Amino acid sequence: MIGPKGATSAVRVSRWRGDEASSARDALAVEEPLEMRLAWTEGGERRVHALAVTMRTPGDDFDLVAGFLHGEGVVSGREQLTELTYCRGGEAQQYNIVEARLAAGVAPDLERLKRNFYTTSSCGVCGKASLDAVEVLACDPLPQGPALDGAVLHALPDRLREAQKVFDRTGGLHAAGLFSFAGEPLIVREDVGRHNAVDKTLGRALLEGHLPARDHVLVVSGRASFELVQKAVVAGVPAMVAVGAPSSLAVDLARRFGMTLVGFARDRGFNVYAGEERLA
178-235 confidence digits (pLDDT tens): 999 999 999 999 999 999 999 999 999 999 999 999 999 999 999 999 999 999 999 9
Instruction: State the Cα–Cα distance between residues 175 and 166, nearest whole angstrom.
Output: 10
Contact 270, 262 (CB under 8 A): yes
Residues 6+ apart with CB under 8 A from 168: none
Whole-number pLDDT of residue 1: 42
159-to-3, 182, 195, 205, 242 alpha-carbon distances in Å? 24, 12, 20, 18, 13
- The set of catalytic residues is 123
pLDDT tens-digit profile of 66-101?
A: 999 999 889 999 999 999 999 876 555 678 999 999
Buried b (16+ CB within 10 A) or exposed e, 43-72: eeeeeeeebbebbbbbbbbbbbbbbbbbbb
130-to-53, 171, 227, 253, 268 alpha-carbon distances in Å? 22, 33, 10, 9, 33
Contact 43, 14 (CB under 8 A): no
Q: What is the pTM of this model?
A: 0.87
CATH number assigned to the domain covering 32-128: 3.10.20.10
Alpha helical stretches, state H, 72-171: 110-116, 132-135, 150-162, 165-170
> Taking Cα atoms as reference points, which of 150, 162, 148, 232 lies closest to residue 194?
232
Q: Where are the domains of the chain?
A: 32-128, 150-278
pLDDT tens-digit profile of 152-179?
A: 999 999 999 988 876 666 666 899 999 9
**5-14, 73-82, 182-191, 252-261: lowest mean pLDDT where?**
5-14
Contact 23, 47 (CB under 8 A): no
**Any idea what the Cα angle at residue 159 is, between residues 7 and 278, rounded to 5°?**
125
Contact 235, 213 (CB under 8 A): yes
| The CATH classification of domain 150-278, taken from the options 1.20.120.1200, 2.60.98.20, 3.40.30.10, 3.40.140.10 | 3.40.140.10
